[in-house]
Amino acid sequence: MKSFREEDVRSDFAEETAAEIAAPVRPIGAERVHEHHEVEEEVQHGRAYGYTALALSILSLFIIPVLFGAAGIVVGFVARRKGAHALGSWAIGIGALSIIIGLFILPFF
């Protein structure tokens, strides 16, 4: 009979082991829900900027067109950057129209 030594057993039996180093797996869609809340929060801030810009631009049609129109345009660009594209665009357009009317048309009346 052959006696088994420890070295013989190790050389005959090769086992490969590894530690798990990958990042833990998250459920599908978990990141999307988190990203959706962040985007929705940013759009809410953009809407607030958008309504403010629109109010400034409309106010500029009646009072101090250059000052309020310029403020409406600047805040409109901020609103567009924050995600309120339609409100920001309207505020920019109305503010620019108000400045043009205030500088070039109203002096003749």
30-48 pLDDT per residue, tens: 566 556 666 677 678 889 9
Q: What is the pLDDT of residues 53-90, one digit of tens each?
A: 999 999 999 999 999 999 999 999 999 999 889 999 99
- pLDDT of res. 105: 87
| Phi-psi category of residue 64: left, alpha or beta, with phi > 0 → left and psi -120 to 50 → alpha | left
Let me know if residue 87 belongs to a domain: yes
Whether residue 78 is contained in a domain is answered as yes
The total of structural domains in the chain comes to: 1
- 104 vs 21, which has greater pLDDT? 104
The answer as to whether 109 is a domain residue is: yes
Q: Which contacts qualify for 103-107: CB closer than 8 Å, 24 or more apart? A: 103/65, 103/66, 106/65
Q: Is 100 contained in some domain? A: yes
Domain with 109, as residue range(s), is 70-109
Does 28 reside within a domain? no
pLDDT score recorded for residue 30: 57
Let me know if residue 77 belongs to a domain: yes
